[in-house]
Amino acid sequence: MFYIRQCLIRKGIGMRRFYCENIPGTGEHTKLDKEEEEHLFRTLRAKEGDELCLMDGKGLTAVVVVGKGRDVIVCEHKLYARELPELTLFLAPPRHQLMDSLLKQCAEVGVSSIVPFITERTVSVPEKDSVLARWRKILIEGCKQSGNPYFPEIVLPVAFNEAVKIFKEGKMFGFFGSIEKTGGISFSTSDANKIAWFTGPEGGFTAKEEESLINAEIKPLNIGRWTMRAETAALCGCVILAYENRKRN
């Protein structure tokens, strides 16, 4: 049992995970930022000799041991390759708590980036930088909980046309949520390593917006028999597209 436990520890399984923007080299000492440090030592009451996992959000993790004076010592590193396809979620943001919950789930399922956008029927338009900081914190928490070593990128909401422009410039292979019956998922390119999923607000896209998506070669896709809430469609579409593309590869 001791051997099994040590193997799990060295893989970072079963250990508490903490964010550290700059993870130092093996054998070096470092300190966590104030919020992470308070959680580790005041809330969790960590003591010298305890082991934990650090994540930098860019694929690097490290097993560390708690030393003296609230510092931690790096024991070993592991660098994870980014999984393909990279999946970008373009969405009309739902209201407050629904958006918060969705962000955490996006981190758990491995969404690479999130681009909120404003449509004609959008009902929630967050604009403050403080909202962006909160969103990023939620994404980090989702990655810490799930073990996802890559923190999703997110921006403040952009105009609908700007979202389509970002899609085009990113050379992605895209689908959008449609209430009409569609032909399903087909990847017409052998290297669709950047996939985009567009979901609209509760009222759906307008006819003009759907026309703009189709003109940008973003394919309509119906993923359910019944009408879904915006946040449900966003998450389900991400999971389905990532799964189907992995099967193809």
Q: What is the mean pLDDT of residues 198-218?
A: 94
How far is residue 68 from each of residues 16, 49, 64, 71, measured CA to CA in Å? 19, 9, 13, 6
Could you give phi then psi for residue 132, rounded to 5 degrees?
-65, -40
pLDDT averaged over every residue in the chain = 88
Find the length of the chain.
Answer: 249
Pairing of strands 72-79, 29-30: antiparallel
Domain ranges for the chain: 2-79, 86-248
pLDDT at 8: 39
pLDDT for the residue numbered 181: 67
Beta bridge partners of 62: 54, 77
Least confident of 90-94, 187-191, 216-220, 226-230: 187-191
Sign of CA dihedral 75, 72, 14, 35: negative
Band of residue 242 on the pLDDT scale cut at 50, 70, 90: confident
Q: What fold does the segment set 86-248 form as a domain?
A: Alpha/beta knot (3.40.1280)
Q: Quick one: pLDDT band at residue 220, thresholds 50, 70, 90?
A: very high
C-alpha–C-alpha distance, residues 47 and 59, integer Å: 27
Low-confidence winner among 49-58, 84-93, 126-135, 201-210 (lowest mean pLDDT): 126-135
Q: Contact, 90 vs 196, CB < 8 A?
A: yes
- Nearest partner of 89 among 219, 238, 246, judged by Cα: 238
CATH T-level fold of 2-79: Ribosomal Protein L25; Chain P (2.40.240)
**What tens digit of pLDDT does each residue of 117-167 get?**
999 998 777 777 789 999 999 999 999 999 999 999 999 999 999 999 999
99: pLDDT strictly greater than 90: yes
Higher pLDDT, 168 or 71: 168
Stated as kind and residue range, the H or E segment containing 108 is: helix 96-109
Tell me the sheet residues that pair with 52. 64
What is the tens place of the pLDDT at every residue in 24-61? 999 999 999 999 999 999 999 999 999 999 999 999 99
pLDDT cut 70: percent of the chain above it: 89
